[in-house]
Structure 1
Amino acid sequence: MSSFGKLFRVHTYGESHCKSVGCIVDGVPPDSPLPRRTFRSSSPAGGLRSEFDTVRVQSGTEHGVTLGTPIGMVVQNKDQRPHDYTETDLYPRPSHADYTYLAKYGVKASSGGGRASARETIGRVAAGAIAEKYLKEAYGVEIVAFVGSVGPVALPFTQEEDEVLGKEYLDLVKNVTREEVDKEITRCPHPETSKKMEQTIRDAKARNDSLGGTVTCVIRNCPLGLGEPCFDKLEAVLAHAMLSIPSTKGFEVGSGFRGTTFPGSKHNDPFVADPENGDNRLRTTTNWSGGIQGGITNGEDIYFRVAFKPPATISQEQQTATYDGKAGTLATRGRHDPCVVPRAVPIVETMAAIVIMDQLLQQNARSAAAALLPPVTSLPPTMVFPGQRK
């Protein structure tokens, strides 16, 4: 469907070459200031074009603050070029969504990727910017994503055989800022690696080819206790959100797949007291869990990685078949990104913000309902969280 979230609910609309794209956001708390800047700029290394989009807020705000009612936002598609896609009337593009959309609905958008286009994500970014603003103002939450690899070029951080993850990588996750990320044209905050990535992308563009890669995201200062048991565990909802982004093919949280190669004696996160916290909150010494245990946040940094495949549309002749099964050659035209990974960084960040915002509203509703009841004095101390003890 085209909606995501339960209490903070985002509904997007629009195809790649229709008149406009946008979203309706419901569940935004009242009196929240709107972000001054909704979009982070696209990365020129990752694309052949720059798209300057103006978001027009249609409802739900007055005098720069939210009213608590649904917020409608729209972006006009100014640079439409549907004639660039006439060849897809005959051929479904390899690894694209032309064939599957037609099979599902019996009809498809005549140009571009339709709803499978990254153009659809503009509505997500606009909605996520509102969530980010609230989370920062109310809880000090910081969300930063960065490019970790492009094709064969990756951050050069290595770890010893007995290390789950290397210290250099973990230090980057802990301390990296958006300013450091946006300083690099590839959005990789490691200048030497960024230069290699940039050249690799330009080489792929010269060959009319494309590259995939990975984006790492960290969420800092996230409140304790977010995430629901069983089916809506936080990592499950994050995976849902991330794998709904176009071109994604993989997701891992914390130590991820590398963690599976270690025994529990080396992979467990031992608890320690936090002397700076007055409510006796515990911290962990390692955080291989990526800030989530049992599907619920434990107060540590949440970090995860998302894999993006190479863009399916390339300006090379490809041997394929027409919709009616006749062998032929497809040579696409138009403006095609050789690598979407740098462009995906803001999408990953804002989808993470939407998830945390929705989970936070759910937890706050539960806590507010419980706060109306008289305190229970019959429970043993071990059944009550230290911060809640009277």
Structure 2
Amino acid sequence: MGHQNRQYNLDWIRVIATFGVFLYHCSMFFNPFPWHVKNNELDSGGILVFCLFIGAWMMPIFFAVSGISVRYALKNRSVIAFFKERLLRLGVPLVFGVFILTPHQIFIERTANQQFHGSFFEFIPHYFEGVYLDFGGTGNFAFFGLHLWYLLVLLVFSLLTIPFFKKVPSGGRFGLVHLWLLPLILFASGLIKTQGLGGWDLIFYLIVFIYGYYFFSIGEFKTKLKSTIKVHGILALITTVIYIVWFTMAYPQPGSIKEILFFGVRTVNCWSLLLCIFFLADKYLSFSNRFLKYASEASMPFYVLHQPVIVLIGFFIRDLSWPLPFKLIFLVSISFILIMGCYHFVVRRLRVLRFLFGMKGIRGKIRPKRPTL
């Protein structure tokens, strides 16, 4: 029953977005934005443009898909069972990441910025000194696991919203008004400043998450989206160009009218790109195959592992005099090989590591399929 109703397009979106996050963090090594470790030569051209485009939709699509997934998950299990699964799938990898995969990244940042002199083992006791809040700060303990903030935020969102979801059940109609209402709500959310992560505020992500639960998961959403996709496609194209050119040519002053308009362009851009992604995935990726099954299972361990590996390799190659394109290819390819090698040959084969990386337990030996009646 679960497989017949499974939305394979959502699995594809998750897999593609996870790979997008990997490429995004590889590019963070080269672009002008602050990061844990930077290359000796930075790029404000193609790599920066790539970062701006990916960053426009990357994390919002994760929260939108997560909202849809919660809708399906609550259909098949109790609230207690749902919370238990969330703690195991999100909480365990988060704690593992905070204590095992994060210390060396903070050590590398402190060493690269001349804030610490000594070996990694000498640094370990200092890892618990102060709270790490942003690049270039002084606190070291990253309780959110750096790139694993998504797991923490999704866990908190789930705990906060489930009582609300249960009291206000889904199942309403999806009208065209909803396609145009959300960008207005998202734009209004810009008035509330809580904590910016991954390019957007937490309130922004919460709205997308709730919208995913109530509206993106309704069948009528696809029908209405199909009838208006040309408008969203044109909007996505126009706002992408305006956003990237505006950002690179003259970023508006904080608090100015131009900044408010700029946020409006970003919001419409994010929204229209999300709709285009949902449309294209539904049209072309509503199927499963062996690759998707493998990649879906690998996506969480890959997400947890990718940044610790990228930061480590970046640290060793940052001062080498290689041409930037060669260094980029090296970082992407070697990081990918190491992450996938670690997952394929180690993580997925050991029960304890599967547990620590938020995976399901190993099933019994593969048995031959019985003929279907």
Does the pair score TM above 0.5? no
More strand by share: 1
Higher relative contact order (CA 8 A, sep 6+): 2
Structure possessing the higher radius of gyration over alpha carbons: 1
TM-score range, shorter chain: under 0.3
